[in-house]
Amino acid sequence: MMPPPGYILIRPETLVGVQKAVEAALGARAAECLAAGGRAGGVKATAQLEGDAASRAGRLLEAGREIGWGDFALERLTPTALVVSVAGSPFARAYGAAGAPVCHLTRGVLETLALVVLERPARVVETTCAAMGAERCRFESVPT
């Protein structure tokens, strides 16, 4: 299987291994380091999106499915809110049981998407996570 141009194949367990090492070194600050990586990738991924907010959001979520980041669903998109859920997050699955959300890379990408479709900065919060036993990981924008 060849990855799309500009992508590399890497097992989620590899990324989670890095995540857990960064968590051991930095504690709670690790989450923001990982989200920053997601935001950096999100800038690249959103740069070529065209159309209205809904079509841009839909295209990015479709791309997330295509590259194996889970089954993304746009739950709500208004001029002030973005809510996305993900079933089958490979990051949550590889992480295992956790007491707090772990999908920081996804959260970072969705923060960039929120900036693009809401046309203003927004923090994204993972309100439920499969690593915590939820059926789906859920991400909601919060105005900054």
Q: What is the mean pLDDT of each run of 10 residues along the chain (144 residues)?
A: 77 95 96 97 92 96 94 97 98 97 98 96 96 98 88
* pLDDT confidence of residue 8: 85
Asked if residues 111 and 118 have their Cβ atoms less than 8 Å apart, the reply is no
* pLDDT confidence of residue 135: 97
Q: Find the distance separating the first CA and the last CA of the chain, reported in whole Å.
A: 40
Cα separation of 20 and 1, whole Å?
28
* pLDDT confidence of residue 143: 83
Asked if residues 69 and 93 have their Cβ atoms less than 8 Å apart, the reply is no
* pLDDT confidence of residue 1: 65
CATH architecture of the domain formed by 30-143: 2-Layer Sandwich (3.30)
Distance of alpha carbon 19 from the chain centroid: 14
